[in-house]
A and B are shown apart, each in its own frame.
Chain A
Amino acid sequence: MRGRRVDPAAGARAGALPEAIAALSRSLPSGPSPEIFRRAKFDRPDATSALWQLLFRVLSPLPAGSALASIALEVQARLVKSALCSQGYPRLALAQLPEDGSQGSRELLLALSWLLARGPVPEQMVAQTRVPLGDEMTVCQCEALASLGPPAPHMETEGPVDVRHVQWLMGKLRFRWRQLVSSQQEQCALLSKIHLYTRGCHSDQSLGHLSVTEAEMLRDPEGGQQLLRTLEHENRRLEAVLAWRRAELVFWQWMDTVLGTCAPEAPAAASQPTFLPWVPECGDGELELVVRELRTLEEELREAAERRRVAWEAKARGCGRGPEWSAARRACRETVEKELGALQRCWEQDRSPAQAHGPHRLVRREDGAAGDRDLRAAELIRTLRSQEACLEAMLRQLQGQCRQELARLAGALPGLIWIPPPGR
């Protein structure tokens, strides 16, 4: 950074801005130098490609790796635009920037700041490349089997297939599930043994035993060296993030001035000639399915509720009226409201706050004692069992629905006897 930036507004803060920006760029993977930021404020073209690359690193869903570096700048720029668009970036100037890195650094700086303002980006970036020192298990369902992203269309099927092929694929899948279960059980047994045998070694008393990673490090010192280096690198980045958090106010004040230097944009023009119409990821078809389901449900509920309301009214007329009566009814109402409110919160919030997210380090303790902030396996097991029951019920219900439907479709045929397979 060429000398200190003189801020007429607050001489005391003179050195704070470059420090804040330096901390920011230390905390981001391959962060550009503070000089780049300064040049971007003045929309200098030489700052453009570094910012494209930084935005790409931040927005890319892929983990960091050498593969990323080899992607051409134009492709990176296109993907950045696309990702920002889908997140709702408000400024149209971004979409109109040329993708060769020849101009637009100020706009890119604004885009970066927009992302920084919306979420804890540096923390997320460090968490992505975190070194797991322990044996970890994730508790939440965010990375469930099914949600591995859209299936890569690897081999396009050559035309129509027979339904038996589908059956075969299903059988293969069931076999793979069984394999997973048994491999998983074995891994847990081995893990538990390693924890047991290394009990008493760890310098950290709360952990008590080594993890596989740590034992591996003792077995393979080269790998251990590598691990140590990566760990120290992560520590430097964490320190940078903390420094950034302490100093970031200055940065936001500066960004307001940057925004001030841009001309205000006109409201969105009607035509966007250069772009393809965007097809929502969740196609309208899927929403249609949900609508249909809800409508059937509504119908069913209307019928059942009406029936019961009538029956109830008849019964209630028979019983007397009185203060205890209405008090009891009010209590009922309140309980129901509370229950339904809790149900609604289950989907309103994107996740249940009670449940912890992300991976946790497994620690074996004979007495199972856990601190306040730690999770206990027994409790998790309870939660998972109820989730399992819930899902099983759902599956059975769907299967029952299918059975009814098929019976209806096929039952009309005379001369056939349908023998269901022996029950479970």
Chain B
Amino acid sequence: MDTNHSRRQLAAMKQSLFDQGLLDEQFIQLEELQDDANPNFVEEIVTLHYRDSSRLISSIEQALKERNLDFNKLDTLMHQFKGSSSSIGAKKVKAECNLFREYCRAGNAEGCMRSFQQLKKEHAALRKKLEAYFQVSRV
């Protein structure tokens, strides 16, 4: 009974994440790689992603504090961030990354800062939601 309930809850949570445009097909791809021997693969990958991306966020934050922004450096950092986000299927975060990179290429400092704030919000929000999701998946 309990497992059925949590399974349904899990499915509903996942559907919601998709409906909100937060996750894309890549997340499903990762789930399909799970098996009895590797039941927590997605959670492991997501954990690695958040470790990596936190580091990148700090680097970007530092870089944005510079007097004269180094747009190349910012773009490179964001490219890494985007790649990692894309690999876990973080759809909305990935879109924010693209926006940030457009501002970099346009040399638009204010645009960069604005989109970065938004990106951090999305990144944190998804993290919370995924944490809740994995919590239910472990029940």
A, B in one complex: no
